[in-house]
Amino acid sequence: MIDRDKQIEALEKFARWVIRETCFEGQGLDGGEIQDMAETTGMIVKEPYDPAVHGATIGEEWDVEAGDTIFVFAPWLKEKK
């Protein structure tokens, strides 16, 4: 897991990018752009899809099979249970 300073740095970079792209430059963002920046900043990570871990519904909704690469929140950004 990355340390707290790196987490804050990633969130700041992501927030500045969203604000710059949408407010300052008058652009919209699509899911692909958001996914790319979230991956670049380490907020989401790739992992193999496992129905036992991720749930079978994700496989059906996203049309993925066991072993396919999916994105999930980085461990430090996952909701606390």
One-letter amino acid identity for 23? Answer: C
- pTM score over 0.85: no
Report the 10 Å Cβ neighbour count for 8.
10
Give CA 39 to chain center in angstroms: 6
Secondary structure of the chain in the HEC alphabet? Answer: CCCHHHHHHHHHHHHHHHHHHHHHCCCCCCHHHHHHHHHHCCCEEEEECCHHHHCHHHHHHHCCCCCCEEEEECHHHCCCC
Mean predicted confidence (pLDDT) in 26-41: 93
Q: What pLDDT, in 10s, does the model give residues 34-50?
A: 999 999 999 999 999 99
